[in-house]
Amino acid sequence: MMSSINIALLGFGTVGKGVFETIETHQERIQYYLGKPVKIVAVLVKNITKHHLSDSEVLLTDNFEDVMQIPNLDIVIDAICGKEPGFTYIKRSIEKGCHVVTANKEMFAFHGQELLSLAAKQHVSVGFEATVAGGIPIIQTLRSLLKVNRITKVEGIINGTSNYILTNMREQDLPFEQVLADAQNKGYAEANPTNDIEGFDALYKALVLSQVVFGEHPEEENIIRKGISQITQEQIENAANLGLKFKHVVKLEKQENHIQCKVQPVLLSNAHPFYSIEGVQNAVSINADIVGNITLTGPGAGKLPTASAVIEDLLHLFEKHDSVRLHDERQLEDQGEEVGQRLIFNQRLDHLCIVDSLEEVEQLQEGVFYIKGREADLTRFEQENDGVAIYPIEGNFQLLNKQQYANIG
């Protein structure tokens, strides 16, 4: 039987449910890229009596130790709230040798660097795309696509709840409390909505961004944090009469000797690119020395946008070879097997020449490569230079890295 990638999901609220459902609805696409079925084998919650899972094979538990006892656990997804117990759980997961994907920005803002260092020692990866701006792929953009550019400034509307409240107070003339309750019902607001409306959530995201962009946090004396809770309907209306809108904006800027971080409501005219960012939409604008200005916009909170960030992270844990990932199915569909074959060879097998057609490839991921129905002539193949070896697994062949090969013996 084909083995699977086994996942434990911590938290089964807005984000956890979104991830669970997306793995079901998009299993085929995920499997195409990862080369194996992806299975949620356990779900951790706080109050087990609130929950029911239709699949009785999935362990539902309120005890983290149950999760740590699962053999062959590959990935832990963190969709719970707050610094603790999130930090302890993620640390333990990494120590167990699991990859981690987290949406928990409060935890990651304070412990991200430590977790990334620990993960590097344990040879596992940590994905944290979902910690900033919901569905906008800002972390990957900054980390993978703007490496040579020197980034000088990042600005953003990065709290969906605040933008949703300000938009609806203005457009619908609704009171603050009513729109906040609506944002909570829609799953945008944090378990403790004070984090949203007082600017803490946006600050946590700014701290993650600062670490990614500048390699450090701003000093406390260089941080301004204000929320939107004091803005009245009357002020919003007066501003609107002048053609202005309140927006909750984060600004991170490298000064000569320090990083300045401002998280506060500002009044914008229609000349500003954030003027038209409404509702739960977020926007992040990057100033960099080569490219100039880039602005990304998209849904900043909610079940599926956040699940999207988590699931895409999950793929990145395993994918290191852009040549395959960039020319995905579209190329395969457009140009047939020839291209697929070439891409696979480009990935790492050109010197081995063991794939005759794409149909033979059963699973594909970084370091692990299955070829269907081949006999034992390639049972053990060790490539000295780039450290790969072929070893038979469950009747298929798997391409392993040297370390994995050595472990099997």
Ligand X SMILES: NC(=O)C1=CN([C@@H]2O[C@H](COP(=O)(O)OP(=O)(O)OC[C@H]3O[C@@H](n4cnc5c(N)ncnc54)[C@H](OP(=O)(O)O)[C@@H]3O)[C@@H](O)[C@H]2O)C=CC1
Ligand Y SMILES: N[C@@H](CC=O)C(=O)O
**What is the binding site for ligand X (CB under 6 A)?**
11-16, 44-47, 50, 79-81, 85, 103-105, 130, 134, 187-188, 190-191, 301-302, 306
Point out the residues that are catalytic. Answer: 205
Residues listed for the chain = 409
386 burial class (0-12, 13-18, 19+ CB within 10 angstroms)? exposed
Residue 263 binding: pick among ligand Y, ligand X, none (C-beta 5-8 Å cut-off by kind): none
Q: Is 46 or 320 the residue whose CB approaches ligand X more closely?
A: 46
Q: Is 130 or 268 the residue whose CB approaches ligand X more closely?
A: 130
Q: Is 161 or 341 the residue whose CB approaches ligand X more closely?
A: 161
Query: Is residue 139 within 8 Å of 310, Cβ to Cβ?
Result: no
Query: Pick from 189, 228, 236, 361: which binds ligand Y (CB under 6 A)?
Result: 189
Beta strand pairing call for 5-10 and 75-78 = parallel
Where in 277-306 is the site for ligand Y (CB under 6 A)?
300-301
246 burial class (0-12, 13-18, 19+ CB within 10 angstroms)? buried
Residue 191 binding: pick among ligand X, ligand Y, none (C-beta 5-8 Å cut-off by kind): ligand X
User: At its nearest, how many Å lie between ligand Y and the CB of residue 282?
Assistant: 7
Nearest to 171 by CA among 272, 279, 264, 267: 279
Query: Is residue 117 within 8 Å of 90, Cβ to Cβ?
Result: no
Q: Is 199 or 300 the residue whose CB approaches ligand Y more closely?
A: 300
Residue 159 binding: pick among ligand X, ligand Y, none (C-beta 5-8 Å cut-off by kind): ligand Y
Question: Between helices 27-34 and 303-318, what is the axis angle to 10°?
Answer: 20
User: What whole-number distance in Å separates Cα of residue 146 and Cα of residue 108?
Assistant: 22
Q: Is 16 or 156 the residue whose CB approaches ligand X more closely?
A: 16
User: At its nearest, how many Å lie between ligand Y and the CB of residue 107?
Assistant: 13
Sheet of strand 396-401: strand arrangement: 361-365, 368-371, 396-401, 388-393, 381-383
- The stretch near ligand Y (CB under 6 A) out of 78-86, 156-164, 345-353, 398-406 is 156-164
Residues touching ligand Y: how many (CB under 6 A)?
11
The C-alpha torsion from 265 through 268 and 273 to 276, rounded to 10°, is 90
Residue 196 binding: pick among ligand Y, ligand X, none (C-beta 5-8 Å cut-off by kind): ligand Y
Q: CA geometry: angle at 344 spanning 340 and 347, to 5°?
A: 145
Residue 176: Cβ within 10 Å count: 19
Considering the rule CB under 6 A, would residue 159 count as an interface residue with ligand Y? Answer: yes
**Segment (H or E) for 289:** none
Residue 45 binding: pick among ligand Y, ligand X, none (C-beta 5-8 Å cut-off by kind): ligand X
Considering the rule CB under 6 A, would residue 86 count as an interface residue with ligand Y? Answer: no
User: What whole-number distance in Å separates Cα of residue 306 and Cα of residue 130?
Assistant: 6
Residue 8: Cβ within 10 Å count: 26
Contact map string, positions 98 to 137, toward ligand Y, x by CB under 6 A: ------------------------------------x---
Whether the bond into 85 is cis, omega within 30 of 0: yes
Residue 6 binding: pick among ligand Y, ligand X, none (C-beta 5-8 Å cut-off by kind): none
Q: Is 11 or 160 the residue whose CB approaches ligand Y more closely?
A: 160
Residue 85 binding: pick among ligand Y, ligand X, none (C-beta 5-8 Å cut-off by kind): ligand X
Q: Is 64 or 246 the residue whose CB approaches ligand Y more closely?
A: 246
User: What whole-number distance in Å separates Cα of residue 168 and Cα of residue 228?
Assistant: 13
- The stretch near ligand Y (CB under 6 A) out of 187-195, 245-253, 287-295, 362-370 is 187-195
Residues that bind ligand Y (CB under 6 A): 134, 159-161, 188-190, 196, 201, 300-301
